[in-house]
């Protein structure tokens, strides 16, 4: 007990210190983010863009699809360009032509090598010179550059409008015509794109060769190449990771794991009484399966748009289901079904652990279910309709699609979801309270489950921190609090503690050792995980300290994954401990799969892009997608399915259960995911990375490159894996349908009969 208290103390210290540093970094980002000028003027003092226009342009881009339609500073979808990189390249080319004609009286292509070098040097100097005046808040461009800006702006204004000359390009970008029907919105959009590219090339005050985005994207014409810091901190992070893994292996070798207790002769949960509120969670899991099927269907459509743009095997599906909508549903439903599975698991196990059914708990579980269903359906429908009708910035922010990846629902829906999560934490706390008050060996595990639940409910408040006019750097800062800390942090702590608690209840691991192990695992995970959030923010207009902190602590995130295979093997042994354990075989195998994908998806593929020098060239390319698919579904998705199967086993008591359907479900999902990642996404990502390194980010994301024969072949090579994976979800659907048709569990039927009698 004394050792466990010390671990809890260390956990508290690490959390306080880490969040203090993360808060300090947020303050630095706020103070040192690229300034939004009050006016952008030309050499004659004429205003090209006002500060309000630039901020409104950010809102217009998000209303048109935002991070579901290309990226800005590397964050978003992978089909359309990175608009900041694309603008920067187009402006550099326009300046090349203008300087060549001014200085030599002929097009750039007609110049010899020496004169081209002079032009290139002039263009680089023009793009890197920071003419922002903090005293007046104005950014004054030369007459030559102002003309280039206006020329490039015409391209984007026409692209986001309905100009028929851009129909072919829109098809390649999977854009619909008239994404922004209002001329004022299109003009503001070009201001935002210009500002994002200006910040990417202009030297920071007092610096030379260092832009506000640490020289991202790679663009030789603007002199954007990796900084020395990116290389040095990358090397340092690799050294730290190797040293930390060695230390963990040494620690593991010095502290021999305690043997598992003797396996009970019968299932300890076999005679568990299913309370009314536990039974009420059953419908949550059927909704989870429905969301999985919908998410996979949207993923198939979204992937196919990479080839046909706005059609699906010749059908003009993009007219009613644009790419921005299908991708929004695909990414949003992934988070929603995983979260729903975990929330329902918490509501199921609370009375099972405490042996107490609070008054009106069933009512609360039912109210929460229909509230969550209303939020899912409502936010999806309003986002879809808003996109189809191009409803504008006010609509998109409040009830439509905010255009932010993984957190796209409108502000009204976010507020409702926040209230729902707090209500869930209250229900969970009511169910666990008797067990928290009663001294027991497993009280530490129960406390960890409850604390993680409080963090899940409370930290969703970070989705409410940005407003319509919030600086884009700060939007990204808070968004990653939500995506990284909420999804990848506290949900994982919650799920890990729940699994340990379930295993102790089954008598497969000792409660005392599990208490210490879970707190220690949480310490190791959060020590790297909290400040590891910063690796998402290297190039989003943040200070260079973000690169230093993010690279070092994200390297530490990989450390606990190095030994996760040992835990997976132990779980495999536990799955064969006794004949009755076979009842939970597929749930346990899902937990084993989580270990595999944690090592491969989160560890191997994650660290391959996490160092600053790697991410400099690969941010926003298909290697990110490979990591995202392997980690999100492989780790969190399989974890959610495993928890769901564990709960459904108790709720069905074997009634309607089918191992013959779960066997192909498990293997097809994992094999299909591996095929998708390693046959398509990884080769495409490596090919794109080569283009980014040799030519520039603009080229790796260009329509010419993305629709090259090799890249389109890689898209088609997703089909075999997608088919295998889709069949896995269909078997899961059949399994759920069989359970649903089987009716209520035998205990519920018997209780109902007694009541009627």
Lowest mean pLDDT segment, chosen from 147-161, 232-246, 588-602: 588-602
With a CB cutoff of 8 Å and minimum separation 6, the contacts of 534 are 22, 25, 546, 549, 550, 553, 554
The model's pLDDT over 41-99, given as tens digits with 9 standing for 90+, comes to: 998 889 999 999 999 999 999 999 999 999 999 999 998 999 999 999 999 999 999 99
**Residue-level pLDDT at 266:** 87
Beta bridge partners of 203: 211
Secondary structure tally for the chain: helices H, strands E: 32, 6
| Both structure tokens of 338 | 């995983």
Q: Locate 18 and state its tokens.
A: 């880490």
Token pair recorded at residue 145: 């550059």
Task: Grade residue 745 by pLDDT with cuts at 50, 70 and 90.
Answer: very low
Report the C-alpha gap between 629 and 606 in whole angstroms. Answer: 11
User: The whole model's pTM is what?
Assistant: 0.93
* Structural tokens at position 736: 């759920």
How confident is the model at residue 753, as a pLDDT? 39
Sign of the torsion angle spanned by Cα atoms 638, 642, 647, 652: positive
The Cα–Cα gap between 646 and 348 comes to 10
Q: What is the CA radius of gyration of the chain?
A: 27
| Tokens (6 digits) for 711 | 């890249």
> What is the band of 751 on the pLDDT scale with cuts at 50, 70, 90?
very low
Beta bridge mates, 401: 409
Least confident range from 371-385, 481-495, 626-640: namely 481-495
User: How sure is the predictor about 744, in pLDDT bands with cuts at 50, 70 and 90?
Assistant: low
Q: What angle do CA 178, 183, 184 make, to 5 degrees?
A: 130
Nearest CA-CA partner of 362 in 452, 238, 461, 276: 276
User: Cβ distance 236 to 551 under 8 Å?
Assistant: yes
Quote the CA–CA distance of 579 and 601 in Å, as a whole number. Answer: 32
Q: Is the pLDDT of residue 754 over 50?
A: no
* 554-556-560-563 Cα dihedral, nearest 10 degrees: 110
Answer whether residue 203 shows pLDDT above 90. yes
User: Residue 23: which residues within 8 A CB-CB, separation 6 or more?
Assistant: none
Question: What are the start-end ranges of the H helices in 202-264?
Answer: 228-254
Placement of tokens 């969301």 in the chain: 291
Give the pairing type, strands 71-72 and 75-76. antiparallel
Residue 589: φ, ψ to 5°: -65, -35
| Cis bond before residue 14 (omega within 30° of 0) | no
Q: Is 370 exposed, middle or buried (0-12, 13-18, 19+ CB in 10 A)?
A: exposed
What is the model's pLDDT at position 577?
79
- pLDDT over threshold 70, residue 475: yes
> What mean pLDDT comes out for the span 609-633?
94
Average pLDDT, the chain: 91
Q: What is the structure's pLDDT at 700?
A: 97
Q: Give the CA distances from residue 69 to residues 612, 655, 750, in Å, rounded to whole numbers and listed in that order.
A: 25, 46, 54
Q: Are 492 and 457 in contact (CB under 8 A)?
A: no
Give percent of the chain above pLDDT 70.
Answer: 97
Within a 10 A sphere around the Cβ of 113, how many other Cβ atoms? Answer: 6
| Partner residues linked to 139 by β-bridges | 40, 132
Alpha-carbon gap, residue 481 to 461, rounded angstroms: 10
In the chain, % of residues over pLDDT 90: 74
Say whether pLDDT at 538 is over 90. Answer: yes
Half-sphere CA count of 141, side-chain side, radius 13 A: 24
> What is the pLDDT, as a whole number, of residue 3?
54
Contact 209, 203 (CB under 8 A): yes
Token couple for 304: 């196919």
Residue 747 pLDDT: 52
Q: Are 222 and 124 in contact (CB under 8 A)?
A: yes
Q: Decide if pLDDT at 2 tops 80.
A: no
pLDDT at 533 over 80: yes
The pLDDT of residue 743 is 64
Give the separation between CA 432 and CA 103, rounded to whole angstroms: 77
Tokens of 474: 């700060």
pLDDT tens-digit readout, 488-502: 778 778 888 888 888
**Listed residue (618, 620, 596, 591) closest to 607, CA to CA:** 618
Determine phi and psi for 224, rounding to 5 degrees: -85, 105
Task: Give pLDDT tens digits for 630-675.
Answer: 999 999 999 999 999 999 998 987 778 999 999 999 999 999 999 9
CA-CA-CA-CA dihedral for 493, 497, 500, 506, to nearest 10: -140
Q: Are strands 39-41 and 47-50 parallel, antiparallel or unpaired?
A: antiparallel
What would the mean pLDDT of 415-437 be, rounded to a whole number?
A: 94
Counting Cβ atoms within 10 Å, is residue 226 exposed (0-12), middle (13-18) or buried (19+)?
Answer: middle
Backbone angles phi, psi at 293, to 5 degrees: -60, -45
Do residues 291 and 333 make contact, with C-beta atoms less than 8 angstroms apart? yes
> CA of 375: how far to CAs of 338, 424, 479, in Å?
15, 14, 20
For 82, list phi and psi in degrees, rounded to 5: -80, 115
In this structure, the number of other CB atoms found within 10 A of the CB of residue 32 comes to: 18
Q: How many CB atoms lie within 10 A of CB 470?
A: 15
User: What residue ranges in 265-349 does DSSP mark as E strands?
Assistant: none
Q: CA angle 102-103-109, nearest 5°? A: 85
Q: What is the mean pLDDT of residues 395-400?
A: 96
Alpha-carbon distance of 42 to 21, in angstroms, equals: 41
Query: Which residue from 205, 193, 196, 218 is spatially nearest to 129, judged by alpha carbons?
Result: 205
């Amino acid at each position: 007990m004394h050792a466990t208290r010390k671990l809890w103390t260390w956990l508290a210290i690490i959390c306080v210190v880490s969040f203090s540093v993360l808060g300090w970094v947020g303050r630095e980002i706020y103070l040192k983010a690229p300034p939004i000028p009050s006016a952008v003027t030309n050499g004659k003092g004429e205003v090209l863009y006002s500060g309000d226009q630039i901020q409104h342009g950010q809102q217009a881009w998000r209303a048109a699809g935002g991070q579901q339609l290309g990226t800005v500073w590397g964050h978003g979808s992978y089909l359309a360009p990175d608009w900041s990189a694309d603008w920067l390249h187009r402006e550099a080319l326009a300046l090349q032509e203008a300087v060549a004609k001014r200085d030599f009286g002929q097009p750039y292509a007609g110049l010899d090598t020496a004169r081209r070098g002079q032009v290139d040097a002039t263009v680089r100097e023009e793009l890197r010179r920071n003419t922002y005046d903090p005293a007046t808040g104005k950014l004054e461009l030369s007459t030559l550059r102002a003309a280039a800006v206006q020329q490039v702006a015409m391209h984007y204004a026409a692209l986001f409008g309905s100009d028929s000359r851009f129909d072919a390009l829109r098809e390649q970008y999977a854009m619909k015509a008239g994404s922004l029907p209002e001329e004022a919105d299109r003009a503001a959009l070009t201001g935002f794109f210009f500002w994002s590219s200006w910040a990417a090339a202009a030297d920071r005050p007092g610096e030379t060769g260092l832009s506000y985005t640490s020289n991202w994207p790679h663009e030789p014409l603007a002199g954007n190449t990796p900084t020395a810091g990116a290389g040095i901190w990358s090397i340092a992070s690799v050294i730290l990771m190797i040293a930390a893994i060695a230390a963990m292996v040494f620690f593991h070798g010095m502290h021999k794991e305690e043997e598992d207790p003797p396996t009970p002769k019968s299932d300890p949960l076999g005679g568990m009484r299913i309370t009314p509120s536990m039974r009420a969670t059953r419908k949550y899991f059927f909704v989870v399966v429905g969301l999985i099927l919908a998410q996979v269907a949207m993923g198939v459509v979204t992937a196919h748009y990479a080839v046909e743009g706005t059609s699906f095997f010749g059908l003009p599906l993009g007219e009613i289901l644009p790419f921005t909508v299908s991708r929004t549903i695909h990414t949003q439903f992934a988070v929603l079904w995983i979260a729903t599975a975990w929330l329902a698991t918490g509501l199921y196990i609370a009375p099972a652990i405490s042996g107490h059914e609070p008054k009106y708990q069933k009512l609360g579980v039912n109210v929460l279910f229909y509230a969550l269903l209303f939020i899912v359906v409502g936010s999806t429908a309003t986002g879809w309709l808003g996109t189809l009708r191009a409803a504008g910035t006010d609509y998109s922010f409040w009830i439509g699609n905010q255009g932010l990846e993984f957190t796209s629902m409108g502000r009204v829906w976010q507020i409702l979801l926040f209230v729902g999560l707090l209500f869930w934490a209250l229900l969970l706390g009511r169910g666990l309270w008797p067990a928290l008050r009663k001294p027991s060996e497993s009280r530490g595990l129960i406390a960890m489950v409850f604390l993680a639940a409080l963090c899940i409910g409370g930290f969703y408040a970070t989705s409410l921190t940005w407003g319509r006019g919030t600086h884009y750097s700060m939007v990204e800062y808070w968004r990653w609090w939500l995506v990284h800390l909420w999804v990848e942090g506290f949900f994982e702590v919650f799920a890990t503690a729940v699994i340990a608690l379930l295993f102790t209840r089954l008598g497969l691991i000792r409660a005392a050792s599990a208490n210490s192990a879970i707190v220690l695992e949480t310490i190791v995970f959060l020590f790297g995980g909290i400040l590891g959030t910063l690796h998402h923010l290297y190039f989003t207009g943040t200070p260079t300290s973000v690169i230093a902190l993010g690279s070092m602590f994200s390297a530490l995130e990989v450390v606990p994954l190095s030994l996760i295979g040992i835990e997976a093997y132990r779980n495999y042994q536990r799955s064969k401990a006794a004949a009755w354990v076979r009842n939970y075989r597929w749930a346990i195998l899902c937990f084993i799969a989580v270990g595999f994908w944690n090592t491969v998806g989160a560890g191997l593929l994650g660290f391959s892009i996490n160092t600053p020098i790697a991410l400099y060239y690969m941010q926003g390319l298909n290697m990110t997608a490979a990591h995202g698919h392997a980690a999100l579904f492989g780790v969190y998705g399989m974890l959610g399915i495993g928890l769901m199967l564990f709960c459904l086993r108790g709720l069905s008591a074997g009634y309607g259960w089918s191992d013959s359907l779960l066997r192909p479900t498990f293997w097809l999902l994992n094999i299909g995911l591996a095929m998708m990642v390693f046959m398509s996404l990884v080769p495409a990502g490596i090919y794109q990375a080569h283009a980014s390194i040799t030519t520039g980010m603009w080229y790796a994301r260009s329509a010419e490159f993305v629709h090259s024969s090799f890249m389109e072949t890689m898209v088609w090579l997703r089909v075999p894996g997608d088919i295998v994976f889709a069949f896995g979800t269909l078997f899961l659907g059949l399994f759920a349908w069989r359970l649903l048709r089987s009716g209520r569990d035998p205990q519920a039927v018997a209780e109902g009969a007694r009541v009627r009698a």
